[in-house]
Amino acid sequence: MISLKKPSAGIIDPWGSTEIESYERLLEEFGIQPLNGVADKLPHKPSFIRRKIIFGHRDFERIVNAINNKQSFVVMSGIKPSGPLHIGHILTLREMVFFQEMGGTVFYCVADIEAYEDNGISFEESGEIAVDNLADALALGLDPTRAYIYRQSKENDVKDLAFIFARSVTLSTIEAIYGVRHMGLYMSALVQAGDILLPQLKRFGGPKPTLVPVGIDQDPHIRLCRDLAHKFREKFGFILPSATYHKIIRGLDGSPKMSKRNPMSYFTLAEDVESVAYKLRNAFTGGRPTAKEQKELGGEPEKCPIFDLYKFFFIEDDEKLLEIYMKCKNGEILCGEDKAFAIEVVTSFIKEHQRKKQSLIDKSRAILSLD
Amino acid sequence: MISLKKPSAGIIDPWGSTEIESYERLLEEFGIQPLNGVADKLPHKPSFIRRKIIFGHRDFERIVNAINNKQSFVVMSGIKPSGPLHIGHILTLREMVFFQEMGGTVFYCVADIEAYEDNGISFEESGEIAVDNLADALALGLDPTRAYIYRQSKENDVKDLAFIFARSVTLSTIEAIYGVRHMGLYMSALVQAGDILLPQLKRFGGPKPTLVPVGIDQDPHIRLCRDLAHKFREKFGFILPSATYHKIIRGLDGSPKMSKRNPMSYFTLAEDVESVAYKLRNAFTGGRPTAKEQKELGGEPEKCPIFDLYKFFFIEDDEKLLEIYMKCKNGEILCGEDKAFAIEVVTSFIKEHQRKKQSLIDKSRAILSLD
């Protein structure tokens, strides 16, 4: 079941806060395939696949086959330059890096048209933000020599694809997918379809398998784009793009999704470590009302944003993760102690990341031709 | 009163067939000013102004003042390359040429995005059509040395303005103006706002008075564009564009508007003169059922498409036009005789035009960089 804030019921809203109550229902309702068996054919499974954080897909077999047959494929994602990346973005970036390591060419899109249409951020301002965001991606291992990195607002082919696609998108289609929005968001949705299909243009060697790793809240864009790829298959020879869907990490405050509206729900990659520590110390947990109860009943790691952080990002070793899980479950460890550990792990990651990133700002600026 | 085919009542439809029953009511309903006094300040009044074929305007004083004070201004229009120009297009082209002669710089837009969105014409195909259309304009006196001539699909600033404007256009606004249409037409409407405001960008010397001479059926575009110019005035310094509105010539078959759906209602500038003569010979007129009645009661030139042709395009001399009017009105001339005269006038114009145009095709191709 999906409950929603903005558009009418039954619509996933990529620009709002979508609360996912059951991923299983979602697979059924939207025709997304469970990951299971397909992923087993991968030569290597990172934690976000082993742990079913990526839980579903469309046409992912096509990418797995390309990997196993050493055929060329693309992994593409758009990063909206609306501010410093928050911790949740790490997942998408790691997915891009992983599929790049598996042989994929990365298409990294600075979604500055969306940042303008959705957030009113000017192209000058979003250029600066994009430099910062891209430096994060480089620090996380993105190899720019095997990537095409571009800004939507400067990429004429992407805008032109939007104009070409528009003729076949009725008002009722776009309204059914996105609800009643202003023209800018509709146009930016068409531009995103252009982004996803850009790698398949002649200029980049023509049709090829393309994977878009996204959070489940972005599925409307994937559906629209696959529909357009199908409609324009004859003209461009498009292969329907593939997608993997990851779960949405809950907010540190226990809310269903990290949100800019509530700074206590998330931290950014650029944040002061003191501030990160403060937020972690004050985070919601899966703990019981009293220490006594927790020792008796054990904690509830399934409900715990701190445990989510380990599972999504910070503990790669499955045995280590299981150990924490069991200790919590058995009441052997209390939330205060666990938070102290989390603060150590997270802040040392952040410090190291910021150090690396700092040395990559100039490179990032040069790649985006903003120097 | 405006009666409509496609969108809901009260909307003028620039992409459909709008029947105008009373121009006076239209002035009232949409806040268009009657031409009257403003036009008297022009140093020279061509027949289409003397005869109130241009019957209304928005902010035309600004252009008249620029003309009288020898200040720079722009006259801009978009020609949709969907086929050979029909006789009705002469009016818009003559308006452009007239205001160019009055000192204006022409912006001539090949509306190929609209031709694609509205008519499904590919950019390759519309390029060829545009060459033909522009040669017509040159033959009618357009001076390319004092004009900026461009194709929408190649003009990034125009497309970018559309993206910039989109954020402030709600779905209900665009639906109220244009009715329920596909995304392509909505986007092409925003692109046209970009066309009209293009001459005011820094690149062309910044804000300046801009006149858009249009048929009344294009007023929705003007209203949307003026609204956007107002909203983005602070950012770009836009001066609200001015417009003049001309009447829509009725079809040769007596229908309210020439329409491609009915070839007997119009002829093109590229048409075989035999075919033109055939259509004129079979045209509806303001004549009576019998010659006897016509001699007694006289004809009705107000209802007559043939008389319209004289008035709109082919007889510049007011006394000559009045003479024909009176002879018809008094029953001194019958429709057969008058049609023979019309055929002579029109076909000799067409022949001469085609001769001139033929010699301008290469120039047109070069201007559009399509050689």
Mean pLDDT value across chain B = 92
Distance, CA of B332 to CA of B318 (rounded, Å)? 19
Task: Give residue ranges of A with CB < 8 Å to any B CB.
Answer: 113, 116-117, 120, 153, 156, 159-160, 162-164, 166-172, 174-175, 180-184, 186-187, 190-191
- Give B-chain residues touching A120 at CB under 8 angstroms: 167
Interface test mutation site (partner B, options A163, A164, A180, A190, max chain B beta carbons within 10 A)? A163
CA-based nearest distance A118→chain B, Å = 8
pLDDT tens column, A156-208: 999 999 999 999 999 999 999 999 999 999 999 999 999 999 999 999 999 99
Residue B45 sits in the same domain as residue B185: yes
Confidence category of residue A12, pLDDT binned at 50, 70, 90: low
Q: Which of A72-81, A296-305, B234-243 has the lowest mean pLDDT?
A: A296-305
Q: Is residue B1 part of a domain?
A: no
**Between residues B134 and A22, which one has the greater pLDDT?**
B134
Nearest residue of B to residue A181 by CA position?
Answer: B171
Over residues B99-118, mean pLDDT:
98
Residue A17 sits in the same domain as residue A109: yes
Confidence category of residue A241, pLDDT binned at 50, 70, 90: very high
Confidence category of residue A36, pLDDT binned at 50, 70, 90: confident
The answer on pLDDT for B118 being more than 90 is: yes
- Coil vs helix vs strand at A55: strand
Over residues B194-205, mean pLDDT:
98
Q: Is residue A365 part of a domain?
A: no
B248, B281, B302 - which closes a domain:
B248
- Residue A256: what pLDDT? 86
The answer on pLDDT for B5 being more than 60 is: no
- Residue B24: what pLDDT? 74
**CA torsion, ordered B54, B59, B63, B64, to nearest 10 deg:** 70
- Give A-chain residues touching B113 at CB under 8 angstroms: 163
Token pair in block for residue B275? 């075919």
The answer on pLDDT for A130 being more than 80 is: yes
B214, B248, B282 - which closes a domain:
B248
CATH number at residue A18: 3.40.50.620
Q: Is residue B83 part of a domain?
A: yes
**Between residues A40 and A256, which one has the greater pLDDT?**
A40
Distance, CA of A87 to CA of A252 (rounded, Å)? 11
The answer on pLDDT for A139 being more than 90 is: yes
Do the Cβ atoms of A77 and A213 come closer than 8 Å? yes
Q: Is residue A152 part of a domain?
A: yes
Do the Cβ atoms of A242 and A60 come closer than 8 Å? yes
Distance, CA of A20 to CA of A305 (rounded, Å)? 15
- Residue A13: what pLDDT? 55
Distance, CA of A363 to CA of B16 (rounded, Å)? 53
- Residue A9: what pLDDT? 42
Do the Cβ atoms of B16 and B7 come closer than 8 Å? yes
CA-based nearest distance A167→chain B, Å = 4
Distance, CA of B23 to CA of B57 (rounded, Å)? 12
Residue B189 sits in the same domain as residue B69: yes
Mean pLDDT value across chain A = 92
- Residue B12: what pLDDT? 52
The answer on pLDDT for A277 being more than 60 is: yes
Residue B271 sits in the same domain as residue B185: no
In this prediction the ipTM stands at 0.88
Question: What is the domain count for chain B?
Answer: 2
Range of the domain at A224: 2-248
- Residue B20: what pLDDT? 56
**Between residues B302 and A13, which one has the greater pLDDT?**
B302
Q: Which amino acid is residue B365, in one-letter code? A: R
Residue A118 sits in the same domain as residue A181: yes
Comparing CB atoms, the residue among B117, B167, B171 nearest residue A180 is B171
